[in-house]
């Protein structure tokens, strides 16, 4: 058993933009095929540039606020309660063009 207290985790910069903060509750290697499980907060104006993961599927669940996700040239506005799965190899980016922070939970599953 492993207990994690979210409020005690350090805030780290996400790999695509160090100014965006995340907390990792489960790291790669702790559960087979799980790359990470964490939370992130995007402040107004923050974004992650277009990228892809060839061997990982990502899932994002919006807990608070709104975010703009672009996946394979289709742009969607996700709000609280929305969940999006981004398949391995899909080009995607995330941004917060809104006036309030957006918070989400996310995890990645390795396909290799």
pLDDT in tens, 44-66: 999 999 999 999 999 999 999 99
The pLDDT score that the predictor gives to residue 2 is 82
* Structure tokens, 67: 């975010």
- Domain limits for position 36: 6-110
Instruction: Say if 1 falls within a structural domain.
Output: no
Instruction: Say if 27 falls within a structural domain.
Output: yes
Residue 80 sits in a domain of what CATH number?
2.60.120.10
Short-list 23, 1, 50, CA closest to 107: 23
* Structure tokens, 61: 């669940």
H/E run at residue 110: strand 102-110
Instruction: Please give the tally of structural domains in the chain.
Output: 1
- Average pLDDT over the chain, rounded to whole? 94
Instruction: Say if 32 falls within a structural domain.
Output: yes
């Amino acid at each position: 058993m492993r207990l994690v207290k979210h409020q005690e985790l350090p805030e780290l910069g996400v790999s695509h933009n160090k100014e965006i903060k995340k907390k990792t509750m489960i790291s790669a290697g702790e559960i087979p095929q799980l790359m990470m499980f964490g939370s992130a907060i995007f402040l107004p104006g923050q974004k992650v540039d277009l990228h892809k993961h060839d061997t990982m599927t990502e899932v994002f669940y919006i807990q608070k606020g709104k975010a703009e996700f672009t996946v394979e040239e289709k742009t969607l506005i996700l709000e609280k309660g929305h969940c999006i799965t981004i398949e391995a190899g899909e080009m995607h980016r995330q941004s917060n063009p809104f006036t309030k922070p957006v918070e989400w939970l996310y995890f990645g599953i390795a396909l290799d």
